[in-house]
Chains A and B, each alone.
Chain A
Amino acid sequence: GAVVSQHPSRVICKSGTSVKIECRSLDFQATTMFWYRQFPKQSLMLMATSNEGSKATYEQGVEKDKFLINHASLTLSTLTVTSAHPEDSSFYICSARNARGDNNEQFFGPGTRLTVL
Chain B
Amino acid sequence: QKEVEQDPGPLSVPEGAIVSLNCTYSNSAFQYFMWYRQYSRKGPELLMYTYSSGNKEDGRFTAQVDKSSKYISLFIRDSQPSDSATYLCAMNSGGYQKVTFGIGTKLQVIP
Contact = CB atoms under 8 A, between A and B. Distances in A.
Contacts, number: 47
B41 A106 contact: no
Contacts of A54: none
Contacts of B111: none
Interface stretch (B54-62, B70-78, B87-95): B87-95
B46 A93 contact: no
B43 A111 contact: yes
A113 B41 contact: yes
Nearest to B102: A43
Nearest to B106: A41
A29 to B, nearest CB: 16
Contacts of B46: 105-108
Nearest to B92: A104
B66 interface: no
B101 A43 contact: yes
B44 interface: yes
Contact of B32 (A44, A91, A104, A108): A104
Contacts of B4: 43
B41 A111 contact: yes
A4 B44 CA distance: 11
B96 A93 contact: no
25 contacts: A32-B96, A41-B8, A41-B103, A43-B101, A43-B102, A43-B103, A43-B104, A44-B44, A44-B88, A44-B101, A93-B43, A93-B44, A103-B95, A104-B32, A104-B92, A105-B46, A105-B49, A106-B46, A106-B99, A107-B46, A108-B36, A108-B43, A108-B46, A111-B41, A111-B42
Interface of B: 4, 8, 32, 36, 41-46, 49, 88, 92, 94-96, 98-99, 101-104
